[in-house]
Amino acid sequence: MNRTLTIVKTAFLADQMGGVELPQVALAGRSNVGKSSLINCLAGRRQLAKTSATPGKTRSLNYYEVAPQGYCLVDLPGYGYARCSKAERDKWAELIGLYLRDNRLLRGVAVLLDCRLDPQQNDLTLTSYLQHLRLPITAVLTKADKCSQKERSQRQRQWGDLLGGGETPLVFSAKTGLGREALWRRLDALINVAGGATTAPAEP
């Protein structure tokens, strides 16, 4: 199914986060995990989300409307970028926390995880926090083109065991398009499940 992504809002501060009355799925992950590349791959456009060789470029919440489905993907600031000051990191963490807590429009979170790495502490902290908030999680293993099939399967098992819930983490590559349509189905399913519809089957 064809979809279009259009950026409709950017929020740097808490009082800028309102005004988009659409169901939402957040995209969360480390600063260098490839969120902007993933968004561009989903959109089929190279520069919808600005990419940079310098991690930590996204310092705001960016709202992308998905048409014709009628919901938003919300790109959260990346975390874990050591070169930023602690005050700056704390500011982003506070903004992310305010967005995630008590958000009546938020249906779930796609957590982006680097397929090349063993589970990192800040990824574990985030997923534990999301589970505490009882937010549905779909795990997306990015940069899968840089891994062997054996490595991909190992990482899927690791995160599958850590997260539980029965859904196999999805392998994804913005470079090759691997997992693109499967990820769209999972994002749609987060919206549909919250609305009472039947969930889509998990993809391998």
Q: What is the CATH number of the domain that holds 33?
A: 3.40.50.300
At 146, give phi and psi (nearest 5°): -90, 5
Q: What is the pLDDT of residue 55?
A: 47
Residue 77 domain-assigned? Answer: yes
Q: How many domains does the chain have?
A: 1
Q: Is residue 99 part of a domain?
A: yes
pLDDT in the model for residue 89: 60
- Whether 108 and 130 have beta carbons less than 8 Å apart is answered as no
Distance from the Cα of residue 148 to its chain's centroid: 23
Assess if residue 202 is contained within a domain: no
Indicate the residue type of 100: L
Is residue 201 assigned to a domain? no
What radius of gyration do the chain's Cα atoms show? 16
DSSP symbol at 30: B
Whether residue 167 lies inside any domain: the answer is yes
Specify the pLDDT at position 51.
Answer: 57
pLDDT at 198: 33
Please tell me the predicted confidence (pLDDT) of residue 72.
97
87 found inside a domain: yes
pLDDT surpassing 50 at residue 46: yes
Least confident among 5-9, 30-34, 79-83, 188-192: 79-83
Instruction: Report helix angle 149-163 to 121-132, nearest 10.
Output: 40
pTM: 0.86
Q: Quote the pLDDT of residue 90.
A: 67
Q: Which domain holds residue 25?
A: 4-194
